[in-house]
């Protein structure tokens, strides 16, 4: 069967794209291997009517809503390869050996995070250490917080941002690039502590942070905070298809998700790396779906 669209990725971008295309009566398959980036997160925030929703609950509600539309198939399979066949078809292969053909493709695979090499940091990530103040700052307001960063620019930016939620803030450069004197003085003038030494380990229990231990033996008490992570794509599909990347390393796409490759669209974190928010990803999925539908509409007339 030749599908109108294959959506790779079952996060908020892929789910919302499926909803829009299903309501447009397009035949689609949504590939979802159930390995979301926000699996470590207990709650998701910033999405009106769904503030505080558990990621697993969000997915369950979305799947229930999509089940109303008969032209939507949700395939719990991991896509392993994708290639363009001729001028107007794509062939998608899965780990189970199944092959699908589709007229268009939406890449909504999201990103994977690489945490700093700090002992046991993964035990706290998603519980008391987070990546996005907009997503999790409110729950940590007025607590003694830490921002673990990897560059001087991130140090100053996170200092300004997290200060909105807590004035008791420590910036940890973790042995990396030092702040210039002017920016460090600005942070300290706000009462923000700045530590340049490398972090040896984190202290706490049950995912709840209690302190940061430095290699020189110093220790500070902290109950939560934020960490800058490095991002990489969850799949190599953009590379397989030859899609250009943008300045942030995401898949370059226009306002309707169109990439540099005809009939290939990108949505969510795979394209817009910053901001990485649930509501932004879902909106990107909606726009990409409209782009796909417009292309198919013109092709059929």
| Domain co-membership, 267 together with 239 | yes
| Domain co-membership, 14 together with 103 | yes
| Domain co-membership, 122 together with 72 | no
Instruction: From residue 82, give the alpha-carbon distance in Å to each of 7, 34, 41.
Output: 12, 19, 30
Query: Final residue of a domain: which of 227, 255, 279?
Result: 227
> What does the block give as tokens for 124?
């706290």
| Domain co-membership, 104 together with 121 | no
| Domain co-membership, 32 together with 77 | yes
Query: Final residue of a domain: which of 199, 227, 255?
Result: 227
Measured in whole angstroms, the distance separating CA 93 from the mean position of its chain's CA atoms is 24
pTM > 0.75: yes or no: yes
The structural domain count of the chain equals 2
Yes or no: say if 33 and 54 are a contact pair by the CB < 8 Å rule.
no
| Domain co-membership, 156 together with 104 | no
| Domain co-membership, 101 together with 28 | yes
Return d(Cα 214, Cα 185) in angstroms, integer: 22
> What does the block give as tokens for 161?
């941002």
| Domain co-membership, 125 together with 220 | yes
| Domain co-membership, 44 together with 28 | yes
Yes or no: say if 101 and 3 are a contact pair by the CB < 8 Å rule.
yes
Yes or no: say if 281 and 12 are a contact pair by the CB < 8 Å rule.
yes
SS3 per-residue string spanning 106-152: EECCCEEEECCCCECHHHCECCCEECCHHHHCHHHCCCCEEEECCCH
Domain that holds residue 123: 116-227
Vertex 71 angle, CA 75 and 68, to 5°: 90
Q: Each residue's pLDDT tens digit in the chain (301 positions)?
A: 799 999 999 999 999 999 999 999 999 999 998 876 555 567 888 888 888 888 899 999 999 999 999 999 999 999 999 999 988 899 999 999 999 999 999 999 988 888 999 989 999 999 999 999 999 999 999 999 999 999 999 999 999 999 999 999 999 999 999 999 999 999 999 999 999 999 999 999 999 999 999 999 999 999 999 999 887 777 789 999 999 998 878 899 999 999 999 999 999 988 876 666 888 899 999 999 999 999 999 999 9
Q: Closest Cα partner for 18 from 37, 33, 31?
A: 31
CATH number at residue 236: 3.50.50.60
């Amino acid at each position: 069967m030749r599908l109108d669209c294959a959506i790779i990725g079952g996060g908020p971008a892929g789910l919302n794209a499926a909803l829009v295309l299903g309501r447009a009566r397009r035949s689609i398959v949504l590939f979802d291997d159930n390995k979301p980036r926000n699996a470590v997160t207990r709650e998701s925030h910033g999405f009106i009517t769904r503030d505080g929703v558990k990621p697993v609950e969000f997915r369950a509600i979305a799947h229930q809503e999509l089940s109303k539309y008969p032209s939507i198939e949700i395939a719990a399979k991991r896509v392993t390869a994708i290639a363009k066949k001729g001028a107007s078809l794509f062939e998608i292969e899965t780990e189970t050996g199944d092959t699908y053909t589709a007229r268009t493709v939406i890449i909504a695979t999201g990103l994977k995070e690489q945490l700093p090499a700090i002992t046991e940091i993964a035990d706290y990530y998603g519980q008391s250490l987070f990546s996005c103040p907009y997503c999790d700052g409110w729950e940590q307001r007025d607590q003694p917080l830490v921002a673990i960063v990897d560059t001087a620019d991130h140090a100053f930016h996170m200092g300004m941002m997290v200060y909105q939620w807590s004035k008791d803030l420590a910036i940890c450069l973790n042995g990396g690039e030092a702040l210039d004197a002017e920016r460090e003085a600005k942070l300290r003038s706000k009462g923000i502590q700045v530590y340049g030494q490398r972090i040896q380990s984190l202290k706490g229990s049950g995912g709840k942070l209690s302190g940061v231990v430095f290699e020189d033996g110093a220790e500070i008490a902290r109950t939560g905070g934020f960490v800058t992570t490095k991002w990489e794509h969850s799949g190599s599909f953009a590379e397989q298809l030859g899609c250009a990347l943008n300045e942030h390393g995401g898949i370059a796409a226009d306002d309707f998700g169109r990439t540099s490759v005809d009939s290939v669209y990108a949505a969510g974190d795979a394209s817009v790396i910053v901001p990485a928010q649930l509501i932004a990803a879902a909106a990107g999925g909606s726009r990409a779906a409209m782009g796909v539908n417009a292309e198919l509409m013109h092709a059929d007339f």
